[in-house]
Amino acid sequence: MAKPIIVVLAAGMGSRYGGLKQMDKIGKSGEVLLDYSVFDARRSGFGKAVFIIRRDIEKDFREIVLGRIEKKFPCEVVFQELDSLIPGDLVRESRGAGRVKPWGTAHALLCAQEKIDAPFCIINADDFYGSEAFAVMAPYLSAGAVSEGAIVPYQLKKTLSPMGTVTRGVCEVQDAYLVSVDELTAIAREGDGKIYNTSGGAKQFLDDDTPVSMNFWGFPASIFKDLRRYFDDFLAKSGKEVKSECYLPMAADWFIKNRLLKIKVLEADAPWFGVTYREDREAALKRIAELTAAGVYPESLWA
C-alpha cells in the first residue's frame, strides 16, 4: 500500500496577518511554520507532500520553502486560482463583482485531486500541530484499506489568539466519532474571561474545553467524487456571493449528515499554535526556539 500523503493548504492571502505568513521565516535556519509539519509528517511515515499554492507566489515559494524540503522528501505543487475548476461564466461574473479570492479550503483540496492517489492528511500551512498529531494520524492512514476519515481536534482554549477573533470548526463527538462540525467565524475570549462566538450576531458562549477542528483531517482518496458534488451544490447556492467560501469542515459535516463518510476522532496530546495575526509571530518564534532547545527538532530541519 502506498504511504499516506500530507497535503498543505498554502494558497492563503494572509489578509489579517498583513503578508504571506506561509513564507514568514520562523526557524533558525530559515524554516517557515509548515516546514515543521512536513518534517513531522515525514518522520511519522508519510510518503510525499502536496502543496496547494497560488501561481503568483510560486517563484518565492520554490525559493524560500520548496528548494529546501524537496532535497529530503518528495514534493509536488498544485495551484488554486479564482478560475480553477469553476465554470467560465461564473468566473467572469465573480470578477466583475469584485471577487479576488478563490472559493475556500474545500475548493483548494479539489484542485489537488490529480496528485492524491492514497489516503491523505490535509493541514493549514500557518498552523503548528505537534509531532503527536502526526504520530497518531500516520498509522491510521496506513492501516490497510482506509474507508473512514479522521480528525485530530484541539481544545478551543489552546487555539485562541490574544489579537482578535478566530475561525474554528466546533466539533460534536460521540463514541469516538465526529457527529457534526459547526464552522464559527468570530470566536474570542472577552473581558469577562469567557469565550464567545459572535459571528451570527447573537453572543454564543463556548466552553474552554470544546473540541475544535484546526483543519487536521485524514481522508481516503475516494472522497473526491462526493466532495465535488458538495462543492458544485455550494457554487449553485452561494457562488455569486463575492466573499462566500466553501470550508472543509462544512464539507465534513455534510459527509457525516448524509452518511457518506464516518470520521474517527483521534486523541493526541499535541500542542497547537499559529500565526493568524502579525502579532502572533513573536509567540511562534519563542515556541519553536523552545522546542528546538529541548531537542524536539534539530536546528536545521533539512540539513
Q: Is residue 302 part of a domain?
A: no
Residue range 251-271: average pLDDT? 95
- Residue 200 predicted with pLDDT over 60: yes
Q: What is the DSSP letter of 202?
A: S
- Sequence-distant (6+) residues with CB within 8 A of 189 are 160, 162, 195, 196
**Positions of E strands within the chain:** 5-9, 48-53, 75-79, 120-124, 127-128, 149-151, 154-155, 166-174, 177-189, 195-197, 204-206, 211-213, 217-219, 263-265, 273-274
Diameter of the chain by CA atoms? 54
Q: Is residue 15 part of a domain?
A: yes
Residue range 5-28: average pLDDT? 70
Q: What digits encode the pLDDT tens for the residues 37-63?
A: 999 999 999 999 999 999 988 988 898
Q: Is residue 301 part of a domain?
A: no
Q: What digits encode the pLDDT tens for the residues 114-169?
A: 999 999 999 999 899 999 999 999 999 998 778 999 999 999 999 998 888 888 99
Cα–Cα distance for residue pair 169/212, rounded to 1 Å: 5
Cα–Cα distance for residue pair 232/115, rounded to 1 Å: 21
CATH number at 248 reads 3.90.550.10
Could you give the number of structural domains in the chain? Answer: 1
- Residue 1 predicted with pLDDT over 70: no
Give me the helices (H) in the chain, please: 33-44, 58-61, 67-69, 88-97, 105-111, 131-142, 224-238, 248-257, 280-293
Beta bridge partners of 278: none
Q: Is residue 59 part of a domain?
A: yes
Q: Are the CB atoms for 87 and 230 separated by under 8 Å? A: no
- Residue 16 predicted with pLDDT over 60: no
Q: Which three cell numbers stand for residue 160?
A: 485562541
pTM of the model: 0.92
Q: Is residue 300 part of a domain?
A: no
Q: What digits encode the pLDDT tens for the residues 96-126?
A: 999 988 999 999 999 999 999 999 999 999 8
Domain that holds residue 103: 5-293
Scanning the structure block, which residue is given the C-alpha cell 496506513?
Answer: 142
Cα–Cα distance for residue pair 53/85, rounded to 1 Å: 15
Cα–Cα distance for residue pair 297/24, rounded to 1 Å: 18
